[in-house]
Amino acid sequence: MRIFEYIGKELFNRFGLPVPKGKVVSCADEAALAAAEIGPVVVKAQILSGKRGKSGGIRFANTPAEAKSIALELLGANIRGYLVEKLLVEEKLAVDQEFYLAVTIDEEAKSPVIIASNQGGIDIEEVPENRILKVHTDAELGMYPFIARNIVRRLGLDLGSQHGKELVKAILATYQVFQEKDAVLVEINPLVFSGEKIFAADAKVIIDPEARFRQKDIPYVEDQTETEKLAHDLGLSYVELKGDIAVMANGAGIAMSTLDILMHYGGTPANFLDVVGGTDTETIARSLEILLAKKPKVIFINIFGGSTRCDDVARAYVKVKKKGSGIQVPVVIRLEGTNQDKGRRILQECGIEAYTDMEEAAAKAVELAACAPAGSSS
């Protein structure tokens, strides 16, 4: 879950990592006022995307008037697909040296990793491999000052110098944000020395969505469509796609495989929907309604019941069918696994014969979509 730069910087500040003096504004007059207070500033569009500099989303202003005209231009603009609603107006620093610093998770090593380089300020992908330091930590042991001291030494700084001491503190604070805020990424590029002092000039923070329950103080940005939000509120995993066959499956693996098989037969899936194991009739019924609302040509339900029970799925279908406008599009259902016979019987009573083989069922769904009347899809 990505958060805006200014929210990341608020976190940094809270954990003792200095950030440039700045103000968040949402209109041009506020931008001018902020610049009048701060002096020469950098105006930064607050969007959840990297490469803002290259897209004109980061601009310098020497006077309040300049800040105002830049703000007028940026607010309401669309940068890299994102609408700019807020700007961070920040003190322009006199930069003496730039570093790259990040803490993230190395999946393969199953541990956190600190990544640092004394070539900050440019895309880290462009920094030669031998100039990037990667230091793994042990999640259970956690972070220690000696680890930070080793990194600083290897970056070529004198540990007795003011810069060396500041950088040790900055690494410890960054790691603390990573650990205490359940981040999967904390990236600062650049981390700068301005005179004797260190500042995080940027903040890219991604929080683990599974830890939301214990990170309630972080304002999250909803980066999803209305339908995706509806599904996520039900605890389901849903991604919108461009095709015309709506898909419901249980389990991420089988849901992905279902899309692959539909494509194999020449169909195009309208979405990825994983109804997580153990889901009840009510939730499945509501997710079916979500699929119907997108007006697909065909709905394909592919269930291999482990903890999802086939009779719950069948009951959900019947429930939606009998309600209000019912179900106007063809539905292909494949049921197998836990309570499959019960599920099949329930469907037979309303005239639906469930498939047992998913490839056969997928082929049928594709065939039905191909002969559906034009215009029945949105």
Partner 1 sequence: MAIIVDQNTKVIVQGITGKQGSFHIRQMLAYGTKVVAGVTPGKGGITFEGVPVYDTVQAVLENHQVDATVIFIQAAIAKDAVMEALEAGIGIVVVITEHIPIHDELEFISYARRKGAILIGPNTFGIISSGKCKIGIPPNQFFIPGPVGLVSRSGTLAYEIAKKLAAAGFGQSTAVGMGGDCVKGLTFVEILKLFEADPETRAVVLIGEIGGDAEEEASVYIKEMTKPVVAYIAGKSAPPEKQMGHAGAIIRGGRGTYQGKVKALSKAGALVAEMPSEVPEKISKLLA
Query: What residues are annotated to the active site?
Result: 100, 187
User: Pattern of binders to partner 1 over 346-375, x per CB under 8 A?
Assistant: ------------xx----------------
Among 97, 179, 227, 376, binds partner 1 (CB under 8 A): 179
The yes or no reply on residue 338 touching partner 1 (CB under 8 A) is yes
DSSP state of 308: S
The yes or no reply on residue 4 touching partner 1 (CB under 8 A) is no
Contact region with partner 1 (CB under 8 A), list: 3-11, 58-66, 299-307, 320-328: 299-307
CA distance 372 to 374: 6
Least distance in Å: CB of 363 to partner 1?
Answer: 11
Least distance in Å: CB of 13 to partner 1?
Answer: 21
**Angle, helix 226-233 to helix 281-293, in steps of 10 degrees:** 180
Of 332, 231, 342, 232, which is closest to residue 291 (Cα–Cα)? 231
Q: Give the total of residues touching partner 1 (CB under 8 A).
A: 63
Least distance in Å: CB of 253 to partner 1?
Answer: 2
The yes or no reply on residue 234 touching partner 1 (CB under 8 A) is no
The two three-digit tokens of residue 369, written as one number: 């979509």
Of 103, 105, 97, which is closest to residue 116 (Cα–Cα)? 103
Among 115, 133, 318, 327, binds partner 1 (CB under 8 A): 115
Structure-token match 């999802």, residue found: 308
CA distance 16 to 59: 27
**Long-range pairs for 136-140: beta carbons < 8 A, 24 or more residues apart:** 136/106, 136/109, 136/111, 136/112, 137/111, 137/112, 137/113, 137/175, 138/111, 139/111, 139/112
Among 176, 250, 279, 287, binds partner 1 (CB under 8 A): 250
Contact region with partner 1 (CB under 8 A), list: 32-40, 52-60, 149-157, 206-214: 206-214
Rank residues 125 and 217 by Cβ distance to partner 1 and give the closer one.
125
CA distance 19 to 191: 9
User: Pattern of binders to partner 1 over 12-41, x per CB under 8 A?
Assistant: ------------------------------
- Region for residue 108 given its phi and psi (left: phi exceeds 0; alpha: psi -120 to 50; beta: otherwise): alpha
The C-alpha R_g of the chain, in whole angstroms, comes to 26
Binding site for partner 1 (CB under 8 A): 50, 102, 104-108, 110-113, 115, 123-125, 132, 138-141, 179, 182, 184-185, 187, 189, 204, 206, 208, 210-211, 213-214, 239, 241, 249-254, 256-257, 259-264, 269, 272, 276-278, 304-307, 336-338, 358-359
